[in-house]
Amino acid sequence: MALYVQKYGGTSVGSVERIEAVAEKVKGFRQQGHDVVVVVSAMSGETNRLIALASEIQERPDPREMDTLVSTGEQVTIALLCMALKARGVDARSYTGSQVRILTDQYHTKARIQDIETDRIRSDLDQGRVVVVAGFQGVDPEGNITTLGRGGSDTTGVALAAALKADECQIYTDVDGVYTTDPRVVEGARRLEKITFEEMLEMASLGSKVLQIRSVEFAGKYKVPLRVLSSFQDGPGTLITIEDDETVEKPVISGIAFNRDEAKLTVVGVPDIPGVASRILGPISRANIEVDMIVQNIGADQTTDFTFTVHRNDYDKAQQVLEQVVQELGARECVGDNKIAKVSIVGVGMRSHAGVASKMFDALAGENINIQMISTSEIKVSVVIAEKYLELAVRALHSAFDLDSSDTVRE
Amino acid sequence: MALYVQKYGGTSVGSVERIEAVAEKVKGFRQQGHDVVVVVSAMSGETNRLIALASEIQERPDPREMDTLVSTGEQVTIALLCMALKARGVDARSYTGSQVRILTDQYHTKARIQDIETDRIRSDLDQGRVVVVAGFQGVDPEGNITTLGRGGSDTTGVALAAALKADECQIYTDVDGVYTTDPRVVEGARRLEKITFEEMLEMASLGSKVLQIRSVEFAGKYKVPLRVLSSFQDGPGTLITIEDDETVEKPVISGIAFNRDEAKLTVVGVPDIPGVASRILGPISRANIEVDMIVQNIGADQTTDFTFTVHRNDYDKAQQVLEQVVQELGARECVGDNKIAKVSIVGVGMRSHAGVASKMFDALAGENINIQMISTSEIKVSVVIAEKYLELAVRALHSAFDLDSSDTVRE
């Protein structure tokens, strides 16, 4: 007998039929004797429908009213799911964020959870009820409805699991787990049985969009075991957990993440004096452009080349900003490339294994792939390459780090 | 400077355009210096859409979850209306029933208001804000969302007006007031400037479906001046108020109500002994059939004929129940007629005027219309006639009581 917090996203509750399928799944867990708290999103399409209504009325809709509006999406789902459970003889009770009381700060449309009252939920669980909670929403100290921002239902699930000290927080999605890399690129990509929070954070921020980063951070902070599973097929999914100190051999690399969302900009021939970085990135930041990788090469002639990447959508805007910067700094010129891709190898195992980076570079060199930028952290190495080599690079690395073979499944 | 509570129904907020038109109207009142509290229903069609979803999932949807579900309809409208007001530079703030706090009893889907907290509303009004409240909904002492039953937004409006001691509760609908009778039947039907609560109750329950009966009762009880107006055209509407004791001459009759929703049943040859009425109506009531008019004729041969009317939808069921009753009572037979109509003249003036009933009967006799049943109260006389004579009867009475002529407008 365990206590599970299960989160079902918009696609999983996207129609009456799917809500009924979720009810069947939850009923199965109850029949096995488990306690279940369910967190649901709005039915897919509903949030966008509401946002479109708001946009028709006000160009930049009032944030407080926006939260009041979109929070109805999850409220509909909790009621329908409880009905579906009751129709199956499973006692259930729904709660909005306000009813639970999921207390947040006052930052409408991007509020953060501050506290969760668990008395009513515990009392319902004790009486054998399934508790169904609206994801993505809370209430501020003054009773205003708040939302946690898009994808916030994952965070609700993790926060509830932490508050209830649940045995596991299960995130049901349309994929059956976290993979070593994108199966559409590498045929031999495998589902991971386990991955650490840190690895998951690197994987997520680097492009594997299975879970919201904030919920993973939250789960790691409160040590909530997190499992990603499919709503539509049975299977164990992937468990995201703290690093165990078992002595079993771990693979060096857990997975390979990549994206082609970025563009690269280089300011060439920058005088090599203090304060240059901020004089380049300050105007970029003030233009609301986010920067990802940053590399500065030491120059031989008292000038340096300063390179960074931005989202591809911001490429043109960033170039315009830099034109001005080049003049002010007396730099030579600004060059850019938006046909790049970023590929990263991620794994806590690399901490204790030397030579991971060089093995990566070797594998790429073996395919004649030129590396344009390199950036490293304790558990990942990222490189920027020409976009046309992306698939080739991912497959070469997947193979080089033995991710294809089935005998390296981590348990 | 007055304080108005304005209620806009589902049709009045049925689209983004109409919500914007309501915002314009409210802005006009603010510009005149009035304080405004707005109560809104769900956008037309939305409540039915939600109910249909529920019915797909559970044959008889759980009442608590039903309230959680359908209350989202008004929540959407309050948010959108506040956005429309803010887009016009009018400061506004939305409240769900739970946020206001409109405290109700625990009877889901038909809850009754017990108390309304007005502190937050008053504070918003003091700060120059328009307050927008979700109609039709409240919260029980345990924090569960409740609804007041269909049409309950009128009740929310009146209750808020009473709690805030508003100068007027204005109900915006798709008609421009209360008429002497249905203009589709009598071309000369006129809008009334004023009508008393009691008259309105008789008019409403007899078929003029402008206002929910409960809200009129509520307004009468708390002496809240109630005004019915059109959302779509300007005009003073009809003021529903307590009977004034001005000495100005009042017309005898305010209006003529009618319906064709009823059917008539007669148990013939019932032994004239005590307890017969309950032995006939007891089984009818237990079959959940509501009875409207009841007439018992005194018989000459120690038997009596017992006649009553039910809703036409219940006609067949009532006949089945009575078959059994006829046998048990040793009555002769049960006869029925579902081709009847009820016509009523309503007016507080008839209290002080003799001969109103006979004037009514004369007018009907003048058109050779046979009266099948008669029922009277202090301020109305109702008759049942054959359905085919309905229009003829209404026109004859409208004319006989001088309702056509424009010089009897009440002020």
Each residue's pLDDT tens digit, A344-354: 999 888 877 77
Q: Give the distance between the most distant pair of CA atoms in chain A.
A: 78
Count of pairs with CB atoms under 8 A, one residue in A, one in B:
109
Which of residues B160 and A177 earns the better pLDDT score? B160
Q: Which residues of B touch A65 (CB under 8 A)?
A: 78-80, 82-83, 86, 94
- Name the β-bridge partners of A304: A270
Do A68 and A62 form a contact (C-beta atoms < 8 A)?
A: no
User: What is the mean pLDDT of the segment spanning B56-65?
Assistant: 96
Q: Point out the least confidently predicted range of A130-134, A215-219, B318-322.
A: A215-219
Residue A305 structure tokens: 């080349």
CB–CB of B78 and A68 under 8 A? yes
The tally of CA atoms less than 13 A away on the side-chain side of residue B93 is 16
Instruction: Tell me if the bond preceding B101 is cis, omega within 30° of 0.
Output: yes
Q: Which residues of A touch B78 (CB under 8 A)?
A: 65, 68
Residue A151: pLDDT band by 50, 70, 90 thresholds?
Answer: low
* pLDDT confidence of residue B299: 66
Measured CA to CA in angstroms, residue B89 lies from A148, B13, B125, B129 at distances of: 27, 20, 16, 11
Residue A55: pLDDT band by 50, 70, 90 thresholds?
Answer: very high
Residue B216: pLDDT band by 50, 70, 90 thresholds?
Answer: confident
User: What is the mean pLDDT of the segment spanning A278-297?
Assistant: 88
Measured CA to CA in angstroms, residue B33 lies from B236, B239, B382 at distances of: 18, 21, 45
Partner residue facing A16 (CB), from B20, B57, B99: B57
Query: Which residue intervals of A225-355 are DSSP H helices?
Result: 276-286, 315-329
Q: Is B99 on the interface with A (CB under 8 A)?
A: yes
CB–CB of A53 and B16 under 8 A? yes
Residue A152: pLDDT band by 50, 70, 90 thresholds?
Answer: confident
Do A309 and A341 form a contact (C-beta atoms < 8 A)?
A: no
Which of residues B34 and B329 earns the better pLDDT score? B34
Buried b (16+ CB within 10 A) or exposed e, A344-364: bbbbbbbeeeeebeebbeebb
Which of residues B211 and A55 earns the better pLDDT score? A55
- Please say if the pLDDT value at position A343 is more than 70: yes
- Respond yes or no on whether ipTM tops 0.85: no
Report the candidate in B234, B204, B191, B183 with the shortest Cα–Cα distance to residue B410: B191
- Please say if the pLDDT value at position B405 is more than 80: no
Say which residues have a Cβ less than 8 Å from residue A226's Cβ, sequence separation at least 6.
Answer: A158, A168, A169, A171, A197, A200, A211, A215, A216, A219, A239, A240, A241
Residue B350: pLDDT band by 50, 70, 90 thresholds?
Answer: confident
Q: Give the distance between the most distant pair of CA atoms in chain B.
A: 78
Residue A409: pLDDT band by 50, 70, 90 thresholds?
Answer: very low
- Name the β-bridge partners of A255: A346
Q: Which residues of B touch A78 (CB under 8 A)?
A: 65, 68
Find tokens 């599973």 and name the residue: A229
CB–CB of A53 and B76 under 8 A? yes
Residue B210 labelled as part of a binding site: yes
* pLDDT confidence of residue A299: 67
Q: Point out the least confidently predicted range of A86-100, B46-60, B293-307.
A: B293-307
* pLDDT confidence of residue B247: 43
- Please say if the pLDDT value at position A144 is more than 90: yes
Residue B70: pLDDT band by 50, 70, 90 thresholds?
Answer: very high
Which residues 52-71 on chain A approach chain B with CB closer than 8 angstroms? Answer: 53-54, 56-59, 61-62, 64-66, 68-69, 71
User: What is the mean pLDDT of the segment spanning A57-86?
Assistant: 97
- Please say if the pLDDT value at position B245 is more than 80: no
Residue B397: pLDDT band by 50, 70, 90 thresholds?
Answer: very high
CB–CB of B57 and A64 under 8 A? no
Report the candidate in B151, B69, B146 with the shortest Cα–Cα distance to residue B114: B146
B311 φ, ψ (degrees, to nearest 5):
-65, 145
Report the candidate in A364, A357, A267, A257 with the shortest Cα–Cα distance to residue A310: A267
Residue A277: pLDDT band by 50, 70, 90 thresholds?
Answer: confident
* pLDDT confidence of residue A184: 86
- Please say if the pLDDT value at position B273 is more than 90: no
CB–CB of B75 and A79 under 8 A? no
* pLDDT confidence of residue B408: 42
* pLDDT confidence of residue B410: 41
Which residues 346-405 on chain A approach chain B with CB closer than 8 angstroms? Answer: none
Give me Rg for the CA atoms of chain A: 24
Find tokens 């033995």 and name the residue: A402
- Please say if the pLDDT value at position A208 is more than 70: no
Domains of chain A and any CATH numbers: 3-174 (3.40.1160.10), 244-411 (3.30.2130.10)
CB–CB of B65 and A86 under 8 A? yes
- Please say if the pLDDT value at position B354 is more than 80: no
Partner residue facing B76 (CB), from A50, A59, A64: A50
| B323 Rama class: left (phi>0) / alpha (psi -120 to 50) / beta | alpha
- Please say if the pLDDT value at position A209 is more than 70: no
Residue B266: pLDDT band by 50, 70, 90 thresholds?
Answer: very high
Q: What is the pTM of this model?
A: 0.82
Residue B250: pLDDT band by 50, 70, 90 thresholds?
Answer: low
Alpha-carbon distance B93 to B229, whole Å?
A: 24
Q: Is A208 on the interface with B (CB under 8 A)?
A: no
* pLDDT confidence of residue A207: 58
Residue A241 labelled as part of a binding site: no
Do B265 and B310 form a contact (C-beta atoms < 8 A)?
A: yes
CB–CB of B61 and A54 under 8 A? no
User: What is the mean pLDDT of the segment spanning B139-160?
Assistant: 91
Residue A244: pLDDT band by 50, 70, 90 thresholds?
Answer: low
CA B104 to chain centre: 21
Which residues 134-173 on chain B approach chain A with CB closer than 8 angstroms? Answer: 143-145
Residue A120 structure tokens: 């009513």
* pLDDT confidence of residue B35: 98
Percent of chain A topping pLDDT 90: 65
- Please say if the pLDDT value at position A366 is more than 90: yes
Residue B10 labelled as part of a binding site: yes
Buried b (16+ CB within 10 A) or exposed e, B184-199: ebbeebbbbebbbbbb
Measured CA to CA in angstroms, residue B233 lies from B172, B195, B227 at distances of: 10, 21, 15
Partner residue facing A69 (CB), from B53, B80, B84: B80
* pLDDT confidence of residue B242: 82
- Please say if the pLDDT value at position A60 is more than 60: yes
CA A105 to chain centre: 22
Mean pLDDT, chain B, whole residue set? 90
Say which residues have a Cβ less than 8 Å from residue B330's Cβ, sequence separation at least 6.
Answer: B271
CB–CB of B87 and A58 under 8 A? yes
- Which SS3 state, helix, strand or coil, does residue A289 take? coil
Q: Which residue of B has its CA nearest to A47?
A: B76
Q: Which residues of B touch A66 (CB under 8 A)?
A: 79, 83
Alpha-carbon distance A238 to A236, whole Å?
A: 7
Q: Is B45 on the interface with A (CB under 8 A)?
A: no
- DSSP annotation of A407: G
Residue A209 labelled as part of a binding site: yes
- Give the CA-trace dihedral at A258, A264, A268, A274, to 10 degrees: -70
- Which SS3 state, helix, strand or coil, does residue B118 take? coil
Residue B406: pLDDT band by 50, 70, 90 thresholds?
Answer: low
* pLDDT confidence of residue B205: 63
Partner residue facing B99 (CB), from A65, A78, A143: A143
Distance from the A364 Cα atom to the nearest Cα atom in chain B, whole angstroms:
54
- Please say if the pLDDT value at position A407 is more than 60: no
User: What is the mean pLDDT of the segment spanning B30-47?
Assistant: 96
CB–CB of B76 and A69 under 8 A? yes
User: What is the mean pLDDT of the segment spanning A367-378?
Assistant: 89
CB–CB of A79 and B65 under 8 A? yes
CB–CB of B16 and A65 under 8 A? no
- Please say if the pLDDT value at position B76 is more than 50: yes
The size of chain B, in residues, is 411
- Please say if the pLDDT value at position B90 is more than 50: yes
Query: Which residue intervals of A94-207 are DSSP H helices?
Result: 97-100, 119-126, 152-164, 197-205
Residue A355 structure tokens: 């030579």
- Please say if the pLDDT value at position A107 is more than 70: yes
- DSSP annotation of B191: B
User: What is the mean pLDDT of the segment spanning B137-155?
Assistant: 91
The size of chain A, in residues, is 411
Residue B258: pLDDT band by 50, 70, 90 thresholds?
Answer: very high
Q: Which residue of B has its CA nearest to A17?
A: B57
Distance from the A87 Cα atom to the nearest Cα atom in chain B, whole angstroms:
6
